[in-house]
Structure 1
Amino acid sequence: MNAVGVIVEYNPFHNGHAFHLKASKEAAHADVVIAVMSGNFLQRGEPALVSKWYRTKMALLNGVDLVFELPYRFAVQKAETFANGAVSILDAACCESVCFGSESGDITDFYQTIQFLKEQKQPFEENIHQFIDTGVSYPKAVSLAFQQLSDSEKYLDLAKPNNILGLEYIKAVNRQKSTIRPLTVPRKNADYHDEHFASETIASATSIRKAIFSNNNEEKEIDQYVTGPTKQLLKEYLYHYQVFHQWENYWSFLQFRLLHCLPDELREIYEVEEGLENRLLSAALEAGSFHDFLQKVKTKRYTWTRLQRLCVHILTNTKKIEMTNHSENASYIRLLGMTSRGKEYLNKRKKDFSLPVVSKLSSYKDHEILLDVKAARVYSLGLPNQVKNEMIRQEFKQPPIFID
């Protein structure tokens, strides 16, 4: 069975994701689609709108055959680390290809850009440092440094987030000497960060979430942009858990963590560096909301995304040593869900997997997976008391979801 891998968050699953799945399967001539999906906290440092279990259901009901969790130590990370962890799981699961959406839509652009950057490594790095010295963030410095070196149309626009991620996926494949074949399909209609609806059927997840929260959690406004299963599962989640997750749900917990921390303790947290601890502590004393807090902390050097990731690590009390004292690749594959076709693939190919498959949490003892457990417990704090413990227990008791 030929498997194509996709690296996703599905926050939530929408029509653009449905297009990507269909196009990926066609481009790879695949029988099976395997998704590596972030857990309850995401790459941009945000809590997922709904839990990983509900997003797994969305994936399976919309055309994915197997859903594996991207561990916390890769999920809430910069693009390079995020990509490395995801690709290592797809490689271990015997995927023949990985297909990602990009603003470019042409895989040749990626290879030409990688080759160009290899040839121009020294001046490129020098340019990056020069721009960082002006006070801009690292992603901005990379984009500016690349623009300064080349304005050729045959290279990628490194100001576009999906181009950047795609580049890192291919670099991860090369670094791991994987046999996975990278493929790309163009993103349709909506840009990744679009906050407003750009077409009649396709919208970014960002704009969908914005509509949900600005509409007091009523999902009617998004009906034309999400699939039927997504619509039903969002309705079900809101009815059962009474809220959708966003950073403001966690502000009081983050503020408490900060206000009872000493600067030395805060410096031990992953991504707290360059004296940021003092700025964080000062802002925590004055801010009345998470948004207000980030506004007070943000500078040109630190992007909103970078600061949100840092805040997730503070919230989960994740220390530098916990995130760096591991291999660059994943050490296990946690199975969140499968269809009957996915189950067939597992039965046929599992013996060839190069990593252990974890389907029951209590049967696998590993320090790395404890980061996922801790993140799930903290995620549950965003819920009302009457359902909080239910979600905490679910992390241990929930078997992989099966959709026949």
Structure 2
Amino acid sequence: MTNSPTAALSEAGVSIWLDDLSRERLVTGDLERLIAERNVVGVTTNPTIFAAALKSDTYHDHLHELAVAGADVDTAIFDITTDDVRAAADVFRPVYDRTGGVDGRVSIEVAPGLARDTAGTIAEAKALWAKVDRPNALIKIPATVEGLDAITAATAAGISVNITLIFSLDRYRDVIHAYFTGLEQANAAGIDLSTIHSVASFFVSRVDTEIDKRLTAIGTPEALALKSKAGVANARLAYQLFEEEFATERATALLDAGANRQRPLWASTGVKDPALPDTLYVTDLVAAGVVNTMPEKTLEATFDHGVVEGDTVTGAYADAGAVLDALGALGVDYDDVTLTLENEGVDKFIVSWGELIDSVRTALEAAR
């Protein structure tokens, strides 16, 4: 689809990933279709996605086999989700080969209950990496304070990592530095740095949802005029930070040693407010070398009527900074917003994981 908006987005340097995966997509050939027709070059998953996917009948035979084998719930979830990710990685392997390992990536997340457990996260990241056993996998680790050392340890072990649930600029800087430290340790251990890839998932729409709620409560014309501007502004400043950090002497030394840049990834790009353009978090965040992971609804909207006019990020840093400054002047506490969103993000994934556990337990018991 060489003349489509998704093709234009790809030409502008944005890697389009699908924020969804299911056994049904795998068995029907839907992923191959999206690669061919929608310029999709990767997939991300999370506990909510798997909880929804496991409701499909396509898992019946696999669950029956696990039940007969006497598998417990945790073992069954680990087996099913890694099987899906491995199969998707195989589908995307030609993309991985064609792009030199940059794209063709499929992400799988450590159990959300480990978000505050550094040692547990490291252990599960290594277990997932070994089980999927594909070079184009990415292991998702949340960007909690406890996750930072896990990011370093996984990177140092040669594991490619997708750092998720990033909301604040300060935490994003910490994530980049954790990646640098992991690369330095990997280099000292003799690991080929060119084999390690990473993305940093900066969440967008949830920032608007939380800040817009606070602006509505303030209710002044000045406050209401700032609604739905914070998410894009925050992400644009994240890209500025990315440019700055990867131009430092420390980064240059690692890149010269063969390391890859940790690319910014725009996550939470589905529009939550129906009054907003449904492609807002795509067309307003176009920049070279970023990933945009989209739910299918946003992907189809972009393909149908997205207007891609080149870079919409690097020339907008001053305006983005002015938005955050104006929010602060109104009393919107940026640090409180981003901490609230991090905690909510962890909690939501824990709830989804609980639903996944319940679904698999019920299916195993029925199969037995």
- In the superposition, the TM-score normalised over structure 1's length comes to 0.27
Instruction: Name the structure with the higher helix share.
Output: 2
